[in-house]
């Protein structure tokens, strides 16, 4: 006959199974009745299920490590719409649904903000997928059949409640890649939100797409329902690097 722990695990009560000895000791010490014991089991299982759900969504998001917004230096950019950023971080755009586009040169924290939006969405129970434009297009372009491509497009367009595409504009696209990106944006248009980061203003997107018509059509769908957040200033990473070199030089002198 299986042990009590094994039977609890088979019933899906894994947390109760793992903490059974402590639970029994607590129940005995506090002289819990049957109802109190069952309430404690229900509470612990609910909390454990929520924790595992967050962990699963975080893993599926491909977000990886991130720097929290508490470390963001709001005083460094020369121009940033802080209320708009904070609204995006509070996920106000998800229910409408709308897009968020972060436009900034390198080193001003647009990826950091996008990662924190994604993290908050995961914590709030949303399915999230974080990817760079190059990773997205490499994945889609490597599919060896129309059926395989359609399955991958469904991952990015249907199954991900929030899709974050980082680093649009760092590479130019050939016609096929531009078409694939257009498909992703079009399939999500007015259905599911996007967060995009780019180092180029929209007026320069024609430089990364094979023809102007493609760029115009893509931009039209991105910005129709979108919050455009522009950040201006000098690279924060460059400042840190300069300060580090200055400190090393001072120590040597």
Q: Tell me what pLDDT residue 61 has.
A: 96
Domain membership of residue 244 (yes or no) is no
10-15 contact pairs (CB < 8 A, 24+): 13/41, 13/45, 14/48, 15/44, 15/45, 15/47, 15/48
Whether 73 and 55 share a structural domain: no
Whether 99 and 146 share a structural domain: yes
Name the token pair of 145: 């059949």
Around Cβ 95, how many Cβ atoms within 10 Å? Answer: 8
Decide which of 36, 60, 84 is a domain's last residue: 60
Domain membership of residue 100 (yes or no) is yes
Whether 11 and 117 share a structural domain: no
pTM, two decimal places: 0.86
Its domain, for residue 92, covers: 69-238
Sign of CA dihedral 191, 223, 126, 58: positive
CA distances in angstroms from 135 to 86, 93, 95, 236, listed in the order given: 27, 25, 27, 25
The total domain count for the chain is 2
Domain membership of residue 109 (yes or no) is yes
Q: Tell me what pLDDT residue 1 has.
A: 78
Whether 24 and 95 share a structural domain: no
Domain membership of residue 78 (yes or no) is yes
Whether 184 and 87 share a structural domain: yes
φ and ψ at residue 227, rounded to 5 degrees: -105, 115
Q: Tell me what pLDDT residue 128 has.
A: 98
Q: Tell me what pLDDT residue 207 has.
A: 87
Whether 53 and 79 share a structural domain: no
Residue 252: CB partners within 8 Å, gap ≥ 6?
Answer: none
Domain membership of residue 251 (yes or no) is no
From first to last of its 253 residues, what are the pLDDT tens digits of the chain? 789 899 999 999 999 999 999 999 999 999 999 999 999 999 999 999 999 999 999 999 999 899 999 999 999 999 999 999 999 999 999 998 999 999 999 999 999 999 999 999 999 999 999 999 999 999 999 999 999 999 999 999 999 999 999 999 988 889 899 999 999 999 999 999 999 999 999 999 988 888 878 888 999 999 999 999 999 999 876 666 666 665 666 666 6
Residue range 23-49, pLDDT digits in tens: 999 999 999 999 999 999 999 999 999
Whether 28 and 51 share a structural domain: yes
Domain membership of residue 248 (yes or no) is no
Q: Tell me what pLDDT residue 84 has.
A: 97
Whether 205 and 88 share a structural domain: yes
**In this structure, what CATH number is given to the domain that contains residue 222?**
3.40.50.300
Whether 116 and 167 share a structural domain: yes
Domain membership of residue 194 (yes or no) is yes
Q: Say how many residues make up the chain.
A: 253
Domain membership of residue 253 (yes or no) is no
Whether 55 and 83 share a structural domain: no
Whether 78 and 202 share a structural domain: yes
Decide which of 43, 60, 77 is a domain's last residue: 60
Residue range 49-79, pLDDT digits in tens: 999 999 999 999 999 899 999 999 999 999 9
Whether 202 and 89 share a structural domain: yes
């Amino acid at each position: 006959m299986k042990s009590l722990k094994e039977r609890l695990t088979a019933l899906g009560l894994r947390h109760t199974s793992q903490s059974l000895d402590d639970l029994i000791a607590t129940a005995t010490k506090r002289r819990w009745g049957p109802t109190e014991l069952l309430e404690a089991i229900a509470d612990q299982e609910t909390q454990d299920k929520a924790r595992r759900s967050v962990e699963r969504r975080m893993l599926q998001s491909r977000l990886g490590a991130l720097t929290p917004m508490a470390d963001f230096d709001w005083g460094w950019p020369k121009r940033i719409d802080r209320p708009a950023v904070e609204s995006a971080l509070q996920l106000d755009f998800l229910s409408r649904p709308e897009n968020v586009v972060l436009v900034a040169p390198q080193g001003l924290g647009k990826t950091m903000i996008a990662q924190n939006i994604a993290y908050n969405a995961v914590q709030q129970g949303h399915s999230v997928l974080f990817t760079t434009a190059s990773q997205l297009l490499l994945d889609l372009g490597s599919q060896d059949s129309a059926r395989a491509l359609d399955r991958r497009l469904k991952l990015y367009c249907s199954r991900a409640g929030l899709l974050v595409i980082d680093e649009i504009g760092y590479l130019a696209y050939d016609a096929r890649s531009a078409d694939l990106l257009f498909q992703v944006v079009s399939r999500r248009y007015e259905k599911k939100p996007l967060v995009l980061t780019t180092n180029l203003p929209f007026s320069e997107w024609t430089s990364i797409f094979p023809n102007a018509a493609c760029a115009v059509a893509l931009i039209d769908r991105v910005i129709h329902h979108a919050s455009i957040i522009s950040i201006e200033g000098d690279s924060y990473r460059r400042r840190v690097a300069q300060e580090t070199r200055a400190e090393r030089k001072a120590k040597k002198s």
